[in-house]
Amino acid sequence: MSNFQPSAPRLTVLGAGPGDPELFTLKGVRVLGEADVVLYDALANNDLLSYVRPEARQVFVGKRRGMRSYSQDEINGLIVDYARRYGHVVRLKGGDPFVFGRGREEMLYAEQHGLLTDYVPGISSAVAATGSVGIPVTHRGASEGFQVITATTATGGLSAAVTEAARSRTTTVILMGLSQLGRIVEIFGQHGQSEVPAAIIQNGTLPEARLVTGSVAQLPARAAAASIGAPAIIIIGEVARLAHASAAGPAVFSELLSYAEVA
């Protein structure tokens, strides 16, 4: 007969950061070490699981080709079930869970079912991935603000936020937008932004990161030529001129040098 006594049922929603495991927070390390169960996503770097106690359960609930995919309702159910059976459930999510990560949604469901909840931020890829290739989301003389949007709605359609972003002239960072790239380019073109500098970053902050740059209109062809895939972030705005030439690679080196310097 087991002497295991679960702690009070609770959930911690924890941000895994943008990819590079060295960008994970110290508080995150402590929380993983305290977990009884860790439910982790595909965008969370697996190296972080080394902080989990050997006796704790690790359950993959993300989406990967060839593996079972869990719906959000199923994940919500697992959180409550595991918390009641084992105690402390940590939900490890890529980036920051409150930036298009459904983190608060999971917390509310847990609270409705009697669980204690907590939130530990992660560095959002919306800022870190762009910065890792030399693109700041704001820069004196180029951008006085930025907006972070998703291109895809919960039902898989194009978000109305894309049209709203195309009407502005601040930096736009688009998450989950690669599958909608053609429509994004079309909409920004309709609002006179076809020639605005832009970039796509795949696997930002990781050694295998890749970058393509050019005008908004050039992005689809350049992304296709470079076989850019998800996870990727799209950046539209004058700050894209500031990308590191070394990060972009020789294919776009001359293009970056042709950009006018931004003071």
Among the listed residues 41, 93, 96, 107, the single catalytic one is: 41
pLDDT tens, the chain, 263 aa long: 344 456 789 999 999 999 999 999 999 999 999 999 999 999 999 999 999 999 999 999 987 655 567 899 999 999 999 999 999 999 999 999 999 999 999 999 999 999 999 999 999 999 999 999 999 999 998 888 999 999 988 788 899 999 999 999 899 999 999 999 999 999 999 999 999 999 999 999 999 999 999 999 999 999 999 999 999 999 999 999 999 865 544 333 334 433 333 33
CB atoms within 10 A of CB 187: 20
What are 212's two structure tokens? 């393509």
- Rounded CA-CA distance 89/22 in Å is 23
**pLDDT value for 249:** 44
Domain 125-258 has what CATH class?
A: alpha beta
Which residues on adjacent β-strands are paired with residue 210? 202
**pLDDT value for 245:** 65
CATH architecture, domain 10-120: 3-Layer(aba) Sandwich (3.40)
Among the listed residues 27, 63, 67, 118, the single catalytic one is: 63
Among the listed residues 20, 36, 96, 176, the single catalytic one is: 176
Is 93 part of the annotated catalytic residue set? Answer: no
- Domain range summary for the chain, segments of one domain joined by +: 10-120, 125-258
Residue 1's identity, in one-letter code, is M
What are 173's two structure tokens? 């960072």
Per the CB < 8 A criterion, the answer to whether 78 and 98 are in contact is no
Is 27 part of the annotated catalytic residue set? Answer: no
Burial 113-135 (b: 16+ CB within 10 A, else e): bebebebbbbbbbbbbbbbbbbb
Cα–Cα nearest to 81, from 99, 61, 63, 101: 61
